[in-house]
Amino acid sequence: MEESANSINRFLITIASFARELNTAKDKVDISRAIEKVLGRFFTISSSLTAVYSEEEWHVIRLEDDFPLTKVEMENYYDLALSRKSPSFFPLDDSDYLIILPSVKSGKVLSTFFGYVKENENGFTQELETMFGFFSFYSGIVIENINLFEEVNASAKVQQELKEYFEMMLNSLDEGICVLDKEREFVFKNRKYDEINPDEEVIEHIREIVVNTLMENEGQASEKEFDEGFFSFNSVILLSDEQVLVRLEDISNTKELERMKKVDQMKTEFIANISHELRTPLSAIRAYSETINDSVDMMDSDTLKEFMGTIMDQSDHLAFLLDQLLDFSRMERKDLKLEPDNFDLVPVIRKAKESNKEKYEENQVEVILDIPDEKVMVYADEKRIKQVMINLISNAVKYSDKTKEKKYVKVQLGSIGREVIIEITDNGIGIADEEHKKIFTKFYRVDSSLTYEVEGTGLGLAICQEIVHEHGKEIVVQSTPGKGSSFVFRLDKAEG
Q: Which residues contact other proteins by CB under 8 A?
A: 3-4, 7-8, 11, 76-77, 79-80, 83-91, 97, 104-107, 122-127, 129-130, 133-134, 137, 140-141
Q: Which is nearer to other proteins, 129 or 419 (CB)?
A: 129
What 8-state DSSP symbol labels residue 431?
-
Min separation Cβ 85 and other proteins, Å: 6
- Nearest CA among 342, 338, 375 for reference residue 468: 338
Q: Which is nearer to other proteins, 53 or 226 (CB)?
A: 53
Min separation Cβ 6 and other proteins, Å: 8
Q: Which is nearer to other proteins, 30 or 129 (CB)?
A: 129
Q: Is 133 exposed, middle or buried (0-12, 13-18, 19+ CB in 10 A)?
A: middle
Q: Which is nearer to other proteins, 127 or 277 (CB)?
A: 127
Min separation Cβ 99 and other proteins, Å: 10
Q: Which is nearer to other proteins, 135 or 193 (CB)?
A: 135
What 8-state DSSP symbol labels residue 493?
B
Q: Which is nearer to other proteins, 90 or 166 (CB)?
A: 90
CA distance 95 to 46: 13
Min separation Cβ 107 and other proteins, Å: 4
Min separation Cβ 54 and other proteins, Å: 17
What residues contact 226, with CB distance under 8 A and at least 6 apart?
A: 199, 201, 202, 205
- Nearest CA among 472, 458, 475, 496 for reference residue 381: 472
Check the CA dihedral 76-82-83-88 and report its sign: positive
- Nearest CA among 36, 38, 244, 28 for reference residue 140: 28
Min separation Cβ 19 and other proteins, Å: 14
3-class DSSP state of 47: strand
CA distance 219 to 221: 7
Q: Which is nearer to other proteins, 104 or 411 (CB)?
A: 104
3-class DSSP state of 213: helix
Q: Is 7 exposed, middle or buried (0-12, 13-18, 19+ CB in 10 A)?
A: middle
Q: Which is nearer to other proteins, 5 or 298 (CB)?
A: 5
Min separation Cβ 1 and other proteins, Å: 11
3-class DSSP state of 24: coil
Q: Which is nearer to other proteins, 140 or 460 (CB)?
A: 140
CA distance 397 to 207: 48
Min separation Cβ 126 and other proteins, Å: 5
Min separation Cβ 150 and other proteins, Å: 20
3-class DSSP state of 146: helix
Q: Which residues pair with 419 in a beta bridge?
A: 416, 492
